[in-house]
Chain A
């Protein structure tokens, strides 16, 4: 059996309506051989966690441009934990000041990708960090 594709959920939490970046990333990861679930705009943390659970994804990628990342991203992490999804890799991208990154790591975001990150860099990071799944 060939190695199965890594499954990624790309989600946009909160109210900003700009999903071009998320779509470009989804498309790019498709071309890198990932199976990408795209859920659309304006997701609540609970909706994201529920989708991650039902889809049994390896990675949750959060795109946020609204500036509300310090509020929303920790909530997404908490919602994922509440669903028992502790072995899912969580990444974030968008407009996130460097100063905020340590606190986001603390909250459970594994990696923050800033503007200018290439698709190849994201793909490489996901391949090397998507956790081998436990018997959850």
Chain B
């Protein structure tokens, strides 16, 4: 017991002092959810909270790893260190995994200011590994100003990363669906930034334009953000024209929205969209009182900035890093704070669940779980009654 605590404190110390081997070992302990890791995290947690924890998610093959590699390159160009935690799925059959995200990150293999760690999901659903939050905290405490958390190839509802990361970047490959895909609930809703990758492919700019048009709907109240300045709104005003609303209002006015898309397709880069859009659509401030009233008292949808990048050439990446830095600079203003509250709640919830579950099997409490499960399976006992009986032992109500 004591030795686990000593080893945990030792690993924490080594991780803090820049010992990469110590950090690597600590991450293994964290992944295995050991007592050593718990002891280390008790030491490290108060030192974490300095890093910008950026979640990168999207469908398999959308370009997450390539984007992360490009982000690391851009961050290194500003002389800052970066850590990457890349999750790949574990086999539900064998428990094994192929962790292949490093393939796209080879250029950083020799850089000692970059630390890349692959992690298998080990049966955890939601797009991450159970240890992802703790591992991120360790990398944060080890002093990396950026921690990129790359999820498994995500479907529409694997949104857990949004409860762990400060900023959630959703990666969309071109031509993966129409505008209806862009307005579906789920992954895109949790995006703080949407990045359309493979910008050199035909259709990339069209996809970006569609994303902009669809994700800005319901954006009427950006002047009255409930928790401080909305970053996407700031971005919106900072842009040369009122790009997104131009598209939107153009459509609303009954004109042909494809005209805007046509301009986008004809332009040589994404700024063409922003440049042309105001010319074809009225540049009016976007106000829609009805939408505002409807969203009152509910959580407002995010209005993610949409960026178009070509990761291998680095096009658009500097802008993405700037957007990330702006978001961090506004950390006291609400958006980031609520992300961190969500993370803390998720962490606490996870630990409580884990502890409750381990008490379930504590022989001293004498809970016959198997017996209860069998009784429920045989319909002799309803599952609620079974849960009540367990709770009486584990945490009796006063």
The verdict on A32 contacting chain B, using a C-beta distance below 8 Å, is yes
The verdict on B116 contacting chain A, using a C-beta distance below 8 Å, is yes
Interface size class on chain A is 20 to 34
Given contacts A47-B106, A50-B109, A55-B118, are A30 and B21 in contact (CB under 8 A)?
A: no
- Let me know if B96 and A33 touch, CB within 8 A: yes
Q: In chain A, residues 40-82, which have Cβ atoms closer than 8 Å to a Cβ of chain B?
A: 40, 43-44, 46-47, 50-51, 53-56
- Let me know if A38 and B97 touch, CB within 8 A: no
- Let me know if B7 and A135 touch, CB within 8 A: yes
The dominant DSSP class at the A interface is mixed
The verdict on A107 contacting chain B, using a C-beta distance below 8 Å, is no
Over the window 107-149 of chain B, the binary record of Cβ atoms lying under 8 Å from chain A Cβ atoms (1 yes, 0 no) is 0011000011110101000000000000000000000000000
B355 to chain A, nearest CB (A): 14
Inside 8 A of A129's CB, which chain B residues have their CB?
A: none
The verdict on A122 contacting chain B, using a C-beta distance below 8 Å, is no
Inside 8 A of B115's CB, which chain A residues have their CB?
A: 54
Inside 8 A of A27's CB, which chain B residues have their CB?
A: 98
Inside 8 A of A43's CB, which chain B residues have their CB?
A: 106, 109
The verdict on B99 contacting chain A, using a C-beta distance below 8 Å, is yes
The verdict on B295 contacting chain A, using a C-beta distance below 8 Å, is no
Tell me the nearest residue of chain B to A52, going by C-beta: B24
State the CA gap A136–B33 with chains docked (Å).
18
B2 to chain A, nearest CB (A): 14
The verdict on B61 contacting chain A, using a C-beta distance below 8 Å, is no
Inside 8 A of A31's CB, which chain B residues have their CB?
A: 91, 93-94, 96
- Let me know if B24 and A53 touch, CB within 8 A: yes
Binding site for B on A (CB under 8 A): 1, 4-5, 26-27, 29-40, 43-44, 46-47, 50-51, 53-56, 83-84, 135-136
24 A-B contacts (beta carbon < 8 Å): A1-B32, A5-B97, A5-B120, A27-B98, A31-B93, A31-B96, A33-B94, A33-B95, A35-B120, A36-B97, A37-B99, A38-B102, A39-B106, A43-B106, A46-B110, A47-B110, A53-B20, A53-B21, A55-B24, A55-B99, A55-B117, A56-B25, A83-B21, A84-B21
In order of increasing CB-CB distance, the 5 nearest A-B pairs are: A30-B96, A47-B109, A40-B103, A56-B24, A37-B99
